[in-house]
Amino acid sequence: MRTKPAKVPRAGAYLFARDRQARRSCPGSGLMLLGIRFPVDLTEVGLPAVCRFGGVSVWHGPVAWQWDGGDPQLPIELVDSPESVDVTEWGVDHVVVTTPDLDATVSALQDGGADFRRMGLARGRRAAFLLFGPVVEVVEVEHGPTMLWGLALETDQHLDVVAGNWTSSGWKVSGPHDAVQSGRRILSVIGTNLAVMTRR
């Protein structure tokens, strides 16, 4: 079952360029993102119930996350990952956190050892970009709690093939199109806050 998303910037907007290996090792950070529970059931498109995308497990359920090396001290539920299955052609590109207080949220993440990269804009909203293995994109919104809002996967597969396979499984997806990052493409799963990008 997929939940209707709130109207905030789409996952993947204005992500900064970075070295792929640096994302995996996350040098200098006291925290590492290990797991994401997200309200999208990937078994509907033929993936395992608990996928291990690189170093991050993803499975279906109410939004929560798992960390190694501490607690980021944000009002997002912490959870332990179930046993997972490696999925080698896929990875987690980034997650999106929305917050009404960008400065306080970034400060909390930095206190936890975040590898802070830069401030910027995401569709006209203030945003910050931090590294915890995958990128955490923090976007300021006017109202609502601080929450884990979006998930962007990356894949080695051609996005037209992914779109066709997922559509045949009953999902509605946007047509693959150019991403903000030069040389990459992206599609969105309509009715969710899930996106898929080509790998860098």
Domains and CATH numbers, the chain: 30-198 (3.10.180.10)
Within 8 A by CB and 6+ apart from 120, the residues are 14, 16, 127, 128, 129
Q: How many DSSP H helices and E strands does the chain contain?
A: 3, 13
Please list the helix, strand and coil fractions of the chain in percent, rounded to the nearest 5, in that order: 15, 40, 45
Per-residue pLDDT 10s for the chain (200 aa) are: 444 444 444 433 333 333 333 444 344 446 889 999 999 999 999 999 999 999 999 999 999 999 998 888 899 999 999 999 999 999 999 999 999 999 999 998 888 777 888 898 877 789 999 888 889 999 999 999 999 999 999 999 999 999 999 999 999 999 999 998 889 999 999 999 999 999 98
Compute the chain's Rg from CA coordinates: 16
Q: Tell me the whole-structure pTM to 2 decimals.
A: 0.84
Longest dimension (CA), the chain: 45
What order do you get walking across the sheet with 32-38 strand by strand? 64-68, 32-38, 56-60, 50-53, 85-86
Tokens 């109202």 — which residue?
143
Within 8 A by CB and 6+ apart from 91, the residues are 53, 54, 56, 134, 153, 154, 155, 199
Within 8 A by CB and 6+ apart from 141, the residues are 8, 98, 99, 100, 125
